[in-house]
A and B are shown apart, each in its own frame.
Chain A
């Protein structure tokens, strides 16, 4: 059997109802420029970018408004032309519900571009290209938001043989990548070619779940036998879109949590990210918009192409509002997403999907029963962990044991909670244990530093004491020897004087 035909099935996973067809019946709708754009500075993994504009400035579309701070960071650009209204703390899409720094732009509706220029990357060289990409604002658009230039730059330390394009989109409800592939397949294929060349990879494999036949047809149209690009259909099993699970499905290589795919000669990009890189290199367009799925309990669920900073509330209004008004929304998929504290937020680079919660998602679940060790969770775990043991150790605060049972290999995919007959919120227990261990390690580290400092202080005090004692002894010795000689001299002088007097008396006699 040819390698390309063979699928390496990972352990477990779940077959959840995909619910994807609710949002794929209509084409992606491009949203016109809104009256206000709110751009959070934190939209990616890494350092917060440095603000390059101030209130009142006029900016053009594509103009850099916040610059990447260091290598692990990403820039932010003005999604359209307009005036910087304010720079203030506003709500951002984050589970904490805490406000963070945002740049607010009032568009002038002219949508005037900054001077764009394509990049001749072969001429300027890879290093220079990656430096430019640092300020392209492009991050992984699959949801993780890892700065893309870092992934492209890795082939300088590791030789990349294979580019894997993540088109699995395994979470239920989400369809933004599916729609992107259906509508922009040509651009995607050109992008893949480009990224493959940038990485110096020999081949590209597109991993796509078998529930997207239309997208697959579109892709296959551009694939011929001679090309180094192939599409590999993987079964619809959540979490097939998890990077390491997809690599295993395709290549049969199991990469542990602690290692990067690049060390195995593999690099992975999401389809939307590939198009973003293509548009930056070929047209000089930075990352300004994305496709977002607005779905679930809504009258008109659909995919929208929106500028970053567009109000989510407006999109939900556009989708006809909630059928069942429960005012609960989930960002991301139902398996790994989080409940939005509010919808008064804007679309960011990480926002691939917003689900208006169905009744069963927010209903108070039945009270959990004790674990009956049925090991359904172990059967479902794609990382081959023993969730029932990890649960036991997390619950009883035996964190060292939990670590010995590889707690930190857990990807929090939620398969264990999904299948648990006792209704135990297992993932929450793992998150708790992980955060406790991390906090504990930080505390230990700090305690270590404090101990070192104290040890040094004691050492220093002792040394000073010793030095002082030595100094005193020396001084004493010095001063005492001086006194003696003085005394001797004085006595000698006295004696001499006395002898002199005697001699005088004898002469007189």
Chain B
């Protein structure tokens, strides 16, 4: 009945195509991850996608929805990949399975499925894992260590049996984690960025990965999948807020650059907060939303109990979306 009415022509990329482009935009970042942290990242992504698709299939069956239509939309694959990229590459397989199941079943389908989820599904999955398994979720391998003494066999071993077998030299605290501990212990910290030291190699790795996500983000912007509002506001706000604190006391607060490249800031800017379903739709609303996330990310990173605050910041701001949208309605053509 619907096809009987105008407009009779249409030219729009399908949801599936949009999701495929998002996956394509993730590729540079994934390659950088594999190069720097070993192919454990790829294992994580694979197991996450497989889990997501299977979970999606059964949930759609249970909910009596057209399986083929929804399973091919690609949204589950994107959510699973984003979750997998947030999890350390040396995490065991069951961590990823639990996170993905939570993402698909609870965060996505229990809220009504595609288009209805109130919270960013990947971030809900991540938050659950971070709260439940903080030790595993904050332990990253040293960049490029997999090329030296952390061979493929050991990587497979950690994937299946966890990090117990892992020698200490290959994992270390990330800069954000280190500083948080130092501040907590009320000790002055020293960022030893000299060559060969763990912090330096993390820092360099972060810059490479951030740059790759930036490329992916620009690709999505050119393809008109995202607008500039969210990423630009988020990054500028984070730079601005961290700069203020840094200028006040550089010995206690990290520089804006460190904040910019640490803990997936760029992944968040281009791939996490740009999730349309759980984000605001008005241009002004996007600016408020992105600023809110940036502020919360900074507060949680610096003053909160967790070394990384993106997941919590995004979830908290998701709650505000209906309010933001209703308060930022643009002026209709010709209205005063």
Residues of chain A touching chain B, judged by Cβ–Cβ distance below 8 Å, are 10-11, 14, 16, 172, 244, 248, 254-257, 259, 330, 332, 334-339, 357, 360-367, 369-376, 378-379, 382-386, 388-389, 405-406, 409, 412, 414, 417-423, 425, 427-428, 431
Contacts and interface: CB of A to CB of B under 8 A. Distances in A.
B115 to A, nearest CB: 3
Contacts of B11: 14, 16, 418-419
A334 B331 contact: no
A365 B277 CA distance: 23
Interface string B1-20: 01111111111111101100
A158 B4 CA distance: 41
By secondary structure, the B interface counts as loop
B14 A334 contact: no
B6 A337 contact: yes
Given A384-B333, A421-B13, A334 B6 contact: yes
Contact of B5 (A16, A255, A338, A384): A338
Contact of B9 (A10, A334, A379): A334
Given A330-B6, A386-B330, 4 more contacts: A337-B6, A339-B4, A420-B12, A423-B10
Contacts of A372: 15, 75, 114-115, 276-277
B333 A428 contact: no
Taking each of A248, A376, A412, which has the highest tally of chain B beta carbons within 10 Å of its own beta carbon?
A376
Contact of A418 (B12, B73, B227, B335): B12
A405 B329 contact: yes
A259 B18 CA distance: 40
A372 B333 CA distance: 25
B72 to A, nearest CB: 10
Nearest to A253: B334
B217 interface: no
A335 B10 CA distance: 9
Contact of B333 (A172, A244, A414): A244
B69 interface: yes
* 4 pairs of A and B residues whose beta carbons are closest in the complex: A256-B334, A414-B7, A370-B115, A361-B8
B9 A172 contact: yes
B114 A370 contact: yes
A330 B331 contact: no
B113 interface: yes
A378 B73 contact: no
Nearest to A375: B281
Nearest to B321: A373
B114 A362 contact: no
Contacts of A366: 14
Contacts of B333: 10-11, 244, 248, 254, 256, 382-384, 409
B135 interface: no
Contacts of B200: none
Taking each of B13, B73, B325, B333, which has the highest tally of chain A beta carbons within 10 Å of its own beta carbon?
B333
Interface string B235-263: 00000000000000000000000000000
Interface in B65-94: 66, 69-70, 73, 75
A333 to B, nearest CB: 8
Taking each of A337, A374, A418, A425, which has the highest tally of chain B beta carbons within 10 Å of its own beta carbon?
A374
26 contacts: A172-B9, A244-B334, A334-B6, A334-B8, A334-B9, A365-B2, A367-B66, A369-B114, A372-B75, A373-B279, A375-B282, A378-B282, A405-B329, A409-B332, A418-B7, A418-B10, A418-B12, A420-B12, A421-B14, A421-B15, A423-B10, A423-B14, A425-B3, A427-B5, A428-B2, A428-B5
Contacts of A255: 334
Taking each of B6, B13, B70, which has the highest tally of chain A beta carbons within 10 Å of its own beta carbon?
B6
Nearest to A368: B2
Given A334-B6, A418-B7, A418-B10, A374 B331 contact: no
Given A405-B329, A421-B13, A335 B6 contact: yes
A120 B5 CA distance: 46
Contact of A256 (B2, B276, B330, B335): B335
A427 B7 contact: yes
Interface in B98-118: 113-116
A423 B15 CA distance: 9
B7 A336 contact: yes
B330 A373 contact: no
Nearest to A247: B334
B9 A425 contact: no
Contacts of B330: 378, 384, 386
B6 A414 contact: yes
Contact of B332 (A248, A361, A383, A421): A383
Given A389-B325, A419-B12, A378 B281 contact: yes
Given A369-B15, A374-B18, A360 B277 contact: no
A357 B332 contact: no
A388 B279 CA distance: 13
B281 A421 contact: no
Nearest to A376: B12
Interface in B275-307: 276-277, 279, 281-282
A351 B82 CA distance: 53
B59 to A, nearest CB: 15
Taking each of A362, A384, A385, which has the highest tally of chain B beta carbons within 10 Å of its own beta carbon?
A384
Nearest to A254: B334
B7 A417 contact: yes
Contacts of A422: 15, 115
B334 A417 contact: no
A373 B332 contact: no
Nearest to A10: B333
Given A378-B282, A425-B5, A406 B332 contact: yes
Contact of B7 (A256, A257, A335, A409): A335
Interface in B211-234: 227
B115 A384 contact: no
Contacts of B331: 384
Nearest to A238: B7
Nearest to B14: A421
Contacts of B66: 367
Nearest to B69: A367
A248 B115 CA distance: 35
A388 B9 contact: no
A366 B12 CA distance: 12
A10 B113 CA distance: 35
A388 B282 CA distance: 10
Interface string B318-336: 0000000100011111110
A96 to B, nearest CB: 12
A388 B281 contact: yes
A135 to B, nearest CB: 33
Contact of A373 (B113, B115, B227): B115
A418 B9 contact: yes
Nearest to A360: B9
A409 B333 CA distance: 8
Interface string B105-136: 00000000111100000000000000000000
A374 B276 contact: yes
Contacts of A332: 6
A362 B15 contact: no
Nearest to A335: B7
B276 A375 contact: yes
Contacts of B70: 369
B3 A362 contact: yes
Contacts of A365: 2-3, 10
A372 B334 CA distance: 28
B9 A369 contact: no
Nearest to B70: A369
A431 B116 CA distance: 24
